Homo-oligomer: A and B are copies of this chain.
């Protein structure tokens, strides 16, 4: 394996994931992964630009950053690329009025969106809010649209909490895709568009970045 100095030659920026990389979530808020608080601090002291690029879609950016700061991380809201604010912008640009199938914790990210008479569905990691009733409502909204648009914040299969493995948004997106015979648009990783927007926010080209 090449030495770090060699591997990092030409690298100007680093994209860091958050969940499962900086910390593991849990009912108590979660806990930092050993060494990660110090690693972030060292990166920030270095010549490298640092940005946090997450698929976290249960919490607003503000709540996520608040949690991470309480866990000891040096991080601010402006340093985080998250799918909900990115989706909110896309909805506005395209004149889309969302029906939200999301966790209550992230709902505030869509405060600027018109929710009347929905013409699309936005699905995020809703956790317990993935009830049959809520899934069925989202399904019915899609089936009533002439051109159903489903926007999925990420497509993760599952993630790890301190209590065990948890189904992620991708599984529920597949359920709606199959029921409606449609394909979702993904806002979040692994969409190349999403990575590009994170790089743009730290003014680094793709070939100059490491994740």
Contacts and interface: CB of A to CB of B under 8 A. Distances in A.
A110 interface: no
A133 interface: yes
A135 interface: yes
B178 A165 contact: no
Given A127-B132, A130-B135, A132-B129, A170 B166 contact: no
Contact of A178 (B157, B164, B180): B157
Interface in A140-170: 140, 143, 157-158, 164-168, 170
Given A130-B132, A131-B132, A132-B128, A176 B165 contact: no
A177 B173 CA distance: 12
Interface of A: 126-133, 135-136, 139-140, 143, 157-158, 164-168, 170-172, 174-181
Given A130-B132, A132-B167, 7 more contacts: A129-B132, A130-B131, A131-B132, A139-B171, A157-B179, A171-B176, A174-B178
Nearest 7 CB-CB pairings of A with B: A171-B175, A171-B179, A174-B178, A175-B175, A130-B132, A174-B174, A157-B179
